[in-house]
């Protein structure tokens, strides 16, 4: 009975009201899709790192690491580690394949890669993960499934003339199967020998014996493909972008002579065949015990950890960025739920008489409730299904928008969006369905309370006018006070959870104030609207004033998404101004020189001597500051440790100091002593002040350093510690620099010096040189691309809210069908009625935007002074982008007016009562 009633009463009507049903389904779908897309996007940035980590880790249970790597001379002292199991020293990093593949004739040139003016943006540059190992030791930890190999007798590089078509085998090539460790070793003996994956070879058209140019830092070297790896073990790194070479070759290529990055240890007892090992992998307790035992014996400066630790560190580093995106993605969903409320409300209003009739015929209240909740469930289900499909599409767009941010500021990321996992689908239904039901609960309850007498036409339809009672202000006032209190609380585990709670409370409090606000607005606008817009203004105003309770929901929904837009615009505008000011103040050098390959976490890129010499040798260069950055684990988090020449910073550069007042004097005192300056982000994150002492992990063990100053920095949110180069050298050795800043003599054109330095480099060296002006522009370009995703999310939320306004107007139009018909009967022209509705739409837009501006400014204060400080630790100068906000306001009013066009058309239908 109930299902038949549902079919006849709800489903049939939904099919008839196609526009409304579709709008709602699309609204929910967009909300769900955005949430899923952001989940996938966040996963994609961590996944790239983690899949690389786990596939490279192999059977490694414990790794030994040290700040800046491990000095090779210490390895013999670690022989006791063999008691725990097999071990293998490792060099791991990133290189770029430069130039096109050997058999890509479209290049039309005998030289496969031509250096661009900038120095490294050659065609088809692709990053690859490079692992340098001592293959004999490493075979116990990692499985390399060699496919094709080049015969050991074939000298490296002696490939046949011309390039080989895919699939053909060069002389001496053989299939693995019987390859011994010894033969594998011989394969890699040459410092130019590499093994790549079959996938990579296929993708770029390489065959055995082909030469391959790889760039590490600023150095381009030529390697020869000696073997191809099947898609197993470390070769499974994303898209097969993996290169294996001998550890000595890797040290040379990465300029890490005398150092290894880490020592991988496989606990004994799991060193049998690979499949067996999986079954007998050491348990967590075993690893913990071994970790404790190893840590106790490790010399100062070295740390033992699980390989997954690095993944956790990266995840933590990205947490703030991800949390911000997740919070934003929920806005679209919340706005989508307002649509469900709207639609079910329309359904209930339009069918009051029918509900009354059903009640008169004996349908119970509970059944009526069930019917309308069922409608919401159908909408939620359809929206969720569509949202899952749409989520995948949006995720690709979102990954595209965030990839450059993540890889520029944090880590090299996966090239593709991860597939939807089962739990994503569960998540979609877990939020889509229940929330749709919650959104529909109020109107459904309203439906269940419709009395049987409503069946009689017009018996209860006279609306009462809305009055404002002071009591309705109590709840919002209390919520807003709570928001104020929450904003005062500190972060939880480095996350601004109370800050988000304060924002949420502000939004709720403001939404509760919406009816009162509209009421006051309506009262003050009555006269002006009538004077300005004539009888249509009078009618539009009267209609809106009477519908305040209904309208409040839509206005609140639109106002919420607009307020987020305003808040984000103010935050980004302020941030951008601050960064521009900071860049202007601190970037003083005339040229900035970096390696051709950009460094990311876990992949340092350095400058080599020829490049440094070329810069220093130029007659126009007055002074060169070299700096070196390394990743340092501080309190379990990754921070950047930098070394620079403080003397030069004092004479030529300019840091903006936050504390103490005389930062330059503090910097002067830091030269030659165990002192550091820290960035503001670091100071905020770890509560550090000048005068504090930091204990840093140096190769000689933990050492105390005095903090002498805090400076402003907007480049690295995980925090930077900087020490003078002399101090750095004492503790971390004489590491090659990661960047140079050159100051020119008066009269020398930076552009010309840059071109001359680049021209003086040989084919094997590629530096990236920015002039001061270029770098400032680049900083702001990176800044803008970082926030592209933010605007994209905002726009989705606003589109959904606009759908909501359209739907609400449709509600109001249906609700007032009789009144509107009556207007037409007493002589209102079609166009007059339409104008009334469009004016109403524009008024809704204007009211929403007015509220959005006020609430948005409040939220932006929270974003700038609470959330941003707690998640990134940056001081931002508060600025209001007045012009932008004015433009947005006009756009919103126009857009809502447009959203009113369809309801306006519906409004002019002349409904004449049929003969009684």
Binding site for another protein (CB under 8 A): 458, 462-465, 530, 534-535, 538-539, 542-543, 545-546, 818-819, 822-830, 832, 910, 912-916
Nearer CB in complex with another protein: 418/537: 537
**Shortest Å distance, C-beta 817 to another protein:** 12
Nearer CB in complex with another protein: 8/585: 8
**Shortest Å distance, C-beta 911 to another protein:** 10
**Shortest Å distance, C-beta 45 to another protein:** 54
Instruction: Give every CB contact of residue 524 below 8 A, 6+ residues apart in sequence.
Output: none
- Continuous H helices in 298-364: 308-350, 352-360
Q: Exposure of 287 by Cβ count < 10 A (0-12 exposed, 13-18 middle, 19+ buried)?
A: middle
Nearer CB in complex with another protein: 129/541: 541
**Shortest Å distance, C-beta 829 to another protein:** 5
Q: Exposure of 715 by Cβ count < 10 A (0-12 exposed, 13-18 middle, 19+ buried)?
A: middle
Nearer CB in complex with another protein: 545/655: 545
Q: Enter the DSSP assignment of 154.
A: S
**Shortest Å distance, C-beta 457 to another protein:** 8
Q: Sign of dihedral through CA atoms 584, 587, 590, 595?
A: negative
Nearer CB in complex with another protein: 158/453: 453
**Shortest Å distance, C-beta 825 to another protein:** 5
Alpha carbons 708 and 696: distance in angstroms, whole number: 15
**Shortest Å distance, C-beta 905 to another protein:** 14
Single out the residue of 147, 246, 242 nearest to residue 203, CA to CA.
Answer: 242
Q: Sign of dihedral through CA atoms 98, 103, 107, 111?
A: positive
Nearer CB in complex with another protein: 505/847: 847
Alpha carbons 218 and 250: distance in angstroms, whole number: 15
Single out the residue of 624, 629, 641, 627 nearest to residue 589, CA to CA.
Answer: 624
Nearer CB in complex with another protein: 161/915: 915
**Contact in structure between 710 and 688 (CB atoms under 8 Å):** yes
**Do the bridges between strand 701-711 and strand 675-679 make them parallel or antiparallel, or are there none, so unpaired?**
parallel
**Shortest Å distance, C-beta 916 to another protein:** 5
Neighbouring-strand partners of residue 196: 228, 243
Nearer CB in complex with another protein: 546/556: 546
**Shortest Å distance, C-beta 467 to another protein:** 12
Q: Sign of dihedral through CA atoms 347, 348, 354, 360?
A: positive
Nearer CB in complex with another protein: 465/469: 465
**Shortest Å distance, C-beta 529 to another protein:** 13
Alpha carbons 784 and 839: distance in angstroms, whole number: 36
**Shortest Å distance, C-beta 822 to another protein:** 4
Q: Whole-angstrom distance between the N-terminal and C-terminal Cα of the chain?
A: 31
Query: What is the per-residue DSSP string for 201-250?
Result: HHHHT--TT-EEEEEETTEEEEEEEEEEE-SSGGGGSGGG-EEEEEHHHH
Nearer CB in complex with another protein: 543/811: 543
Nearer CB in complex with another protein: 364/453: 453
What per-residue string of b and e applies to 345-354 under the rule 16 or more CB within 10 Å gives b? bbbbbbbbbe
């Amino acid at each position: 009975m109930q299902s038949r009633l549902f079919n006849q009463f709800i489903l049939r009507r939904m099919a008839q009201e196609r526009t409304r049903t579709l709008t709602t389904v699309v609204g929910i779908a967009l909300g769900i899709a955005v949430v899923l897309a952001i989940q996938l996007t966040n996963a994609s940035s961590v996944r790239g790192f983690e899949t690389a980590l786990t596939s490279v880790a192999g059977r490694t249970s414990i790794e030994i690491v040290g700040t800046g790597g491990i000095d090779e001379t210490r390895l013999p002292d670690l022989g006791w580690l063999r008691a725990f199991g097999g071990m293998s020293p490792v060099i791991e990093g990133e290189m770029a394949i430069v130039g096109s593949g050997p058999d890509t004739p479209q290049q039309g040139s005998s030289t496969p890669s031509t250096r661009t003016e900038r120095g490294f943006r050659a065609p088809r540059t692709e990053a690859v993960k490079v692992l340098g190992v001592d293959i004999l030791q490493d075979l116990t930890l990692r499985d390399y499934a060699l496919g094709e190999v080049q015969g050991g007798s074939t000298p490296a590089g002696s490939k046949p003339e011309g390039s080989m078509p895919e699939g053909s085998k060069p002389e001496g090539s053989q299939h693995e199967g019987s390859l011994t460790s010894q033969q594998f070793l011989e394969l890699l003996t040459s410092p130019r020998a590499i093994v790549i994956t079959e996938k990579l070879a296929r993708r770029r058209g390489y065959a055995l014996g082909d030469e391959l140019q790889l760039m590490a830092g600023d150095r381009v070297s030529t390697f020869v493909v000696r073997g191809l790896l099947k898609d197993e073990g470390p070769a499974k790194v994303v898209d097969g972008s993996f290169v294996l070479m001998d550890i000595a070759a890797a040290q040379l290529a990465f300029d890490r002579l005398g150092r290894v990055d880490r020592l991988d240890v496989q606990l004994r007892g799991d060193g049998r065949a690979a499949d067996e090992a999986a079954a007998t992998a050491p348990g967590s307790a075993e690893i913990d015990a071994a970790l404790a035992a190893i840590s106790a014996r490790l010399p100062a400066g070295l740390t033992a950890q699980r390989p997954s630790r690095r993944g956790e560190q990266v995840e933590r580093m990205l947490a703030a960025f991800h949390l911000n995106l997740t919070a934003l993605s929920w806005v679209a969903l919340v706005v989508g739920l307002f649509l469900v409320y709207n639609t079910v409300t329309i359904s209930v209003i339009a069918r009051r008489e029918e509900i009354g009739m059903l009640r008169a015929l004996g349908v119970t209240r509970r059944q009526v409730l069930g019917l309308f909740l069922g409608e919401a469930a159908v909408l939620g289900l359809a929206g969720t299904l569509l949202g899952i499909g749409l989520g995948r599409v949006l995720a690709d767009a979102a990954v595209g928008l965030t990839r450059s941010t993540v890889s520029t500021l944090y880590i090299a990321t996966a090239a593709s969006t991860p597939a939807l996992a089962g739990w994503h689908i569960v998540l979609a239904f877990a939020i889509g369905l229940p929330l749709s039901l919650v959104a529909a609960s109020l109107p459904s309850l309203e439906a269940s309370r419709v009395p049987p007498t409503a069946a009689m036409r017009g018996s209860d339809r006279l609306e009462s006018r809305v009055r404002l009672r002071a009591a309705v202000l109590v709840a919002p006032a209390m919520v807003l006070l709570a928001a104020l209190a929450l904003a005062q609380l500190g972060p939880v585990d480095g996350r601004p959870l109370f800050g988000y709670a304060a924002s949420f409370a502000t939004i709720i409090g403001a939404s509760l104030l919406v009816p009162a606000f509209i009421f006051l607005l309506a009262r003050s606008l009555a006269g002006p609207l009538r004077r300005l817009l004539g009888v249509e203004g009078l009618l539009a105003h009267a209609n809106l004033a009477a519908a305040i309770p209904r309208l409040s929901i839509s206005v609140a929904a639109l106002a919420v998404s607009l307020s987020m837009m305003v808040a984000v615009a103010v935050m980004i505008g302020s941030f951008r101004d601050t960064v521009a000011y900071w860049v202007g103040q601190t970037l003083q050098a005339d040229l900035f020189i970096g390696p051709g390959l950009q460094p990311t976490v876990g992949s340092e890129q350095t400058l080599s001597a020829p490049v440094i010499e070329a810069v220093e040798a130029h007659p126009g260069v007055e002074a060169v500051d070299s700096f070196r950055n390394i990743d340092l684990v501080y309190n379990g988090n990754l921070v950047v440790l930098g070394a620079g020449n403080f003397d030069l910073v004092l004479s030529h550069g300019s840091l903006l100091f936050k504390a103490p007042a005389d930062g330059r004097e503090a910097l002067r005192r830091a030269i030659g002593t165990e002192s550091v300056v820290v960035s503001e982000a670091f100071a905020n994150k770890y509560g550090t002040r000048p005068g504090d002492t930091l204990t840093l992990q140096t190769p000689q063990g933990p050492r105390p350093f005095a903090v002498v100053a805090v400076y402003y920095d907007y480049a690295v949110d995980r925090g930077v510690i900087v020490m003078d180069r002399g101090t750095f050298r004492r503790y971390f050795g004489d590491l090659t620099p990661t960047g140079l800043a050159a100051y020119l003599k008066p009269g020398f054109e930076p552009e010309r010096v840059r071109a001359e330095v680049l021209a003086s480099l040989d084919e094997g060296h590629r530096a990236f040189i920015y002039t001061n002006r270029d770098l400032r522009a680049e900083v702001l370009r990176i800044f803008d691309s970082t926030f592209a995703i933010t605007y994209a999310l905002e726009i989705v939320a606003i589109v959904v809210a606009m759908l909501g306004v359209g739907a609400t107007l449709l509600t109001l139009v249906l609700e007032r069908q009789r009144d509107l018909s009556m207007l037409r009967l007493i002589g209102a022209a079609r166009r007059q009625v339409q104008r009334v509705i469009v004016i109403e739409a524009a008024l809704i837009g204007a009211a929403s935007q007015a509220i959005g501006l006020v609430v948005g400014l409040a939220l932006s204060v929270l974003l700038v002074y609470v959330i941003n400080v707690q998640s990134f630790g940056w001081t931002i100068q508060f600025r209001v982008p007045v012009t932008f906000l004015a433009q947005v306001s006009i756009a919103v009013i126009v857009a809502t007016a447009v959203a009113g066009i369809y309801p306006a058309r519906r409004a002019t239908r002349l409904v004449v009562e049929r003969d009684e």
